[in-house]
Amino acid sequence: MKRILNFTIGFLIIFGILFFCKFLINFTKIPFPAPILGIIVLFVLLSLKIIKEEWINDFCKFILKYMILFFMPAFVGVIEYFDIISKNLYPILATIFITTILIMIITALFTENVVKYKRLYNLRKRAQK
């Protein structure tokens, strides 16, 4: 019973935030996607403890678990673009392959070295004390 109640509350909160963000973006005419603004709004409300975690966690877990399902209609839409894809097949595949690997390597090397540097810096600071 409590789960159903929490689920409904979560549903109402998420849709409430969605409509609030849509309204805000229509009103201010800032070209920013409403659902993405919604992530920020919900995160801030959670961090400020205005919304309690237990109100939304059932609904969020549920909807995130089935997220892929919601994208199926959009994904299947690639059949409308077969001629564009076949014209650009080689650039698309090569870009995906090369950049994904490069981004991963760059980010990993950067993070690893910053983490290492931070650790050295902290050690040196401690030694000075």
Partner 1 sequence: MNIFGLIITLTLFLIFKKLKLKIPIIISIGILIILILKLFDINYQTYYQSASILSFFIAPATIALAYPMYKNYHILIKNKRALYPSLFVATFSAIILTYFISKLLKADYNVIMSLLPKSTTLPIALEISKSINGYPELTACIVALTGVIGGAFGHKILKFMKIKSDAAIGIAIGSASHVIGTAACAERKNEKQTAASTIALIIVGLLSAIFIPLFKNFY
Binding residues among 59-78 for partner 1 as defined by CB under 8 A: 59-61, 63-64, 66-78
Cα distances (angstroms) measured from residue 31 to each of 21, 28, 40, 80, 115: 12, 9, 16, 27, 36
Instruction: Indicate whether 23 belongs to the interface with partner 1 (CB under 8 A).
Output: no
For residues 4 and 72, which CB has a smaller minimum distance to partner 1 in the complex?
72
> How many chain residues interact with partner 1 (CB under 8 A)?
72
Does position 2 interact with partner 1 (CB under 8 A)? The reply is no
79 binds partner 1 (CB under 8 A): yes
Give the pair of three-digit tokens for residue 95: 């870009």
Percentages of the chain per state (helix, strand, coil), in multiples of 5:
90, 0, 10
Q: Does 118 bind partner 1 (CB under 8 A)?
A: yes
